[in-house]
Amino acid sequence: MKKRTALLNEAVDRPVSELEKRIEQEQHSSVACTGYFAKLLTALGKPHTLEIVYGLSVRSPMRFSEIQRELKIQPKTLTSRLQELVKMGLLERTVYNEIPPRVDYALSQKGKNLGIKVNSLREVLTERH
């Protein structure tokens, strides 16, 4: 029993090698990536989010009222989705110092890359077999 305890203590007190440190860092970074990916999937799974991304990939920039009119989305829902997409870095929100106030929404580079993928997915789904 004492020998086993000594071995366990030695294993716990043993210094961690550089390789083990690197593996641990990669595991933490992949968990962070998975967390972001999970948030992205959650956001994209919400109603109208993909429509907004696709709509802005076709025509950008657009004003709030234009997006609402084109996609027929309730203002509260559209506001929520736009805020989420801006926070995730998929959209850029430009506020102009004018009267009346003007705000444009456009896809960021990250959003454009996603828009290309969404468009590809749409093409695959609309192909006739």
Domain that holds residue 23: 17-46
- Residue tagged 């106030």 (tokens): 101
User: How wide is the angle at C-alpha 81 spanned by C-alphas 77 and 85, nearest 5°?
Assistant: 170
Instruction: State whether 42 and 53 are in the same domain.
Output: no
Task: Identify whether 11 is part of a domain.
Answer: no
What is the rounded distance in angstroms from the CA atom of residue 79 to the CA atom of residue 100?
18
Q: Per the domain annotation, does 81 fall within a domain?
A: yes
Number of domains within the chain: 2
- Residue corresponding to tokens 């802005």: 56
Q: How confident is the model at residue 122 (pLDDT cuts 50, 70, 90)?
A: confident
CATH number of domain containing 102: 1.10.10.10
Note if the pTM is more than 0.85: no
Type and span of the H or E element at 93:
strand 91-96
**15-73 pLDDT per residue, tens:** 455 555 655 665 555 555 567 778 888 888 899 998 999 889 889 899 999 999 999 99
3-state secondary structure of 107: strand
Asked whether residue 80 is assigned to any structural domain, the reply reads yes
In a domain, 10, yes or no: no
Q: Quick one: 111 and 76 in the same domain? A: yes
- Residue corresponding to tokens 């020998």: 3
Round to whole Å and give the CA distance between 36 and 103. 27
Report pLDDT for 120.
82
Q: Give the pLDDT confidence score for residue 93 in this predicted structure.
A: 96
Per DSSP, the three-state class of 14 is: coil
Q: Of the ranges 34-38, 76-80, 97-101, 115-119, which is most confident?
A: 76-80
Q: Is 65 strand, coil or helix? A: helix
Tens of pLDDT, residue by residue over 74-83, are 999 999 999 9
